[in-house]
C-alpha cells in the first residue's frame, strides 16, 4: 500500500476536500482551478444529502457540497468507473442546487427565481466512453451558440478526465497542473513533490500521509478501499459477462445461419431429383412457402442463365458470319 491515501476512494476524497480541518486544500484547489476568474477566501460545507421535496422524488447525496464567502455553490463529484448518463446526473445535481435557492413560496417577487452561480466539478478517474469528453479538461458554460459569448455565469460544469492528463512532473507549469499530477500519481509517490514551490502541498502531504492516520481513521479508510475494490470487481465481472453473452449470441447466430444454408442446399438437391414441393419441404425441414420461394428463385436464375447462353450463341454466330464474308 502506498504512502499516501487514495483520494479517489469515498473516504479519501472527503478527507482531503470535504472536512473542516482540511478545507484549506479545497480553497487552494478551487482558486487554482479557476485562476483569474474567481478568488475563494472561505467555504462553508453544506449538507451533502438533499432530501426530496415530495415522497415520489429521489434524494441525492453529493460527494462534496459547499458555499463560498461570496455565495457561489460548488458541487464536487468523484467517479472511478464509467456510468451510463453520468453527465446527465451531474446536470441534475446542479438543478437541485438551483431549486434549493429559489424561493418557491413567493413567485410574485421579482427576485423569486434569482440564484447564485453553481459550479459542478467532476473528477473522472477513467476514460470516458462519451466522445464529447475527448480531452483532459472540458468546461461547459451557458453561451450563445453562434458567437460563443457568455450569456449567464449561473451554471458551470468542469469535467476532468484524469487518464487524459499526461504531463510529467517537470512539465507541470501551473499550480493546477501540480494538483492534478499529485492526485493522479498519489499511490506511486514516495514523497510529495512541489512542497518547496507551494506551501499548500506541505499540508496535502500531512493530511494524505497514511502513516499519520489514527486507528479509527485507518479502519474507515481501509473499509473504503475494500468497498472501492468490490465495486471495481463487480463492474469488471459485469463487463466480462456482457462480452461473453455477446460472443455466445454471435456464435448462436452463426450456427443458425449455417443451418439455414444447409437446409437450402438440401432443398436444391431434392428439387434437382424431381421431388415435389411437399416432399422437398418435409425432407429439408423447410416450410412450403420457403420451398416455393426457392423454386421461384431457381426459375429466375435459370431464365437469366438461358438468356446469357442465347446471347453468347448469337454473338458466336455473328462473329462466324463476319469471318465467312471476309
**Structural contact between residues 80 and 231, judged by C-beta atoms closer than 8 angstroms:** yes
Can you tell me whether residue 74 is helix, strand or coil? strand
How long, in residues, is the chain?
326
* pLDDT band for position 326 (cuts 50, 70, 90): very low
pLDDT of residue 277: 77
Q: Does pTM top 0.75 for this prediction?
A: no
Q: Residue 200 and residue 195: Cα distance in Å, rounded? A: 7
pLDDT digits (tens, 9 = 90+) for 91-142: 999 998 998 888 665 566 677 788 899 999 999 988 866 667 889 999 999 9
Higher-pLDDT residue of 80, 158: 158
**Structural contact between residues 24 and 2, judged by C-beta atoms closer than 8 angstroms:** no
pLDDT at residue 250 above 70?
no
Can you tell me whether residue 17 is helix, strand or coil? helix
Q: Residue 183 and residue 207: Cα distance in Å, rounded? A: 13
pLDDT of residue 317: 57
Higher-pLDDT residue of 299, 101: 101
pLDDT digits (tens, 9 = 90+) for 63-86: 999 999 999 999 999 988 888 888
Of these ranges, 68-77, 240-249, 303-312, the one predicted with the greatest mean pLDDT is: 68-77
Q: How far is the CA of 133 from the CAs of 33, 48, 85, in angstroms?
A: 18, 27, 13
Q: Which of 212, 222, 218 is nearest to 192 (CA)?
A: 212
Taking the chain, what is the end-to-end CA distance rounded to the nearest angstrom? 97
**Structural contact between residues 25 and 17, judged by C-beta atoms closer than 8 angstroms:** yes
pLDDT of residue 60: 76
Please tell me the number of Cα atoms within 13 Å of 183 on its side-chain side: 26
**Structural contact between residues 34 and 156, judged by C-beta atoms closer than 8 angstroms:** no
Q: Residue 20 and residue 29: Cα distance in Å, rounded? A: 15
pLDDT of residue 300: 47
Q: What average pLDDT does the segment 222-234 reach?
A: 72
**Structural contact between residues 167 and 181, judged by C-beta atoms closer than 8 angstroms:** yes
Amino acid at each position: 500500500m502506498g504512502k499516501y491515501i487514495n483520494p479517489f476512494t469515498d473516504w479519501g476524497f472527503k478527507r482531503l476536500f470535504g472536512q473542516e480541518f482540511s478545507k484549506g486544500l479545497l480553497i487552494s484547489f478551487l482558486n487554482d482551478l479557476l485562476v483569474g476568474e474567481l478568488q475563494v477566501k472561505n467555504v462553508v460545507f453544506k449538507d451533502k444529502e438533499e432530501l426530496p421535496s415530495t415522497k415520489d422524488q429521489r434524494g441525492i447525496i453529493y460527494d462534496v457540497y459547499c458555499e463560498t464567502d461570496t455565495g457561489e455553490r460548488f458541487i464536487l463529484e468523484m467517479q472511478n468507473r464509467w456510468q451510463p448518463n453520468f453527465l446527465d446526473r451531474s446536470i441534475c445535481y446542479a438543478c437541485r442546487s438551483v431549486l434549493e435557492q429559489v424561493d418557491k413560496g413567493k413567485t410574485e417577487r421579482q427576485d423569486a427565481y434569482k440564484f447564485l452561480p453553481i459550479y459542478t466539478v467532476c473528477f473522472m478517474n477513467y476514460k470516458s466512453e462519451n466522445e464529447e469528453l475527448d480531452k483532459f479538461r472540458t468546461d461547459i458554460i451557458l453561451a450563445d451558440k453562434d458567437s460563443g459569448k457568455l450569456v449567464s455565469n449561473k451554471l458551470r460544469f468542469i469535467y476532468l478526465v484524469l487518464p487524459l492528463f499526461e504531463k510529467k512532473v517537470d512539465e507541470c507549469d501551473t499550480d493546477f497542473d501540480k494538483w492534478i499530477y499529485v492526485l493522479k500519481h498519489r499511490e506511486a509517490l514516495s514523497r510529495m513533490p512541489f512542497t518547496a514551490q507551494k506551501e499548500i502541498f506541505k499540508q496535502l502531504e500531512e493530511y494524505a500521509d497514511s502513516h499519520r492516520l489514527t486507528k479509527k481513521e485507518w479502519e474507515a479508510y481501509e473499509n473504503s478501499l475494500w468497498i472501492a475494490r468490490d465495486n471495481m470487481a463487480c463492474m469488471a465481472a459485469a463487463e466480462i459477462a456482457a462480452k461473453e453473452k455477446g460472443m455466445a449470441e454471435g456464435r448462436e447466430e452463426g450456427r443458425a445461419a449455417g443451418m439455414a444454408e444447409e437446409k437450402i442446399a438440401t432443398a436444391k438437391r431434392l428439387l434437382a431429383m424431381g421431388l415435389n414441393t411437399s416432399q422437398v419441404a418435409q425432407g429439408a425441414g423447410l416450410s412450403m412457402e420457403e420451398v416455393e420461394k426457392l423454386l421461384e428463385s431457381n426459375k429466375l436464375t435459370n431464365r437469366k442463365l438461358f438468356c446469357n447462353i442465347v446471347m453468347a450463341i448469337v454473338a458466336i454466330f455473328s462473329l462466324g458470319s463476319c469471318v465467312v464474308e471476309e
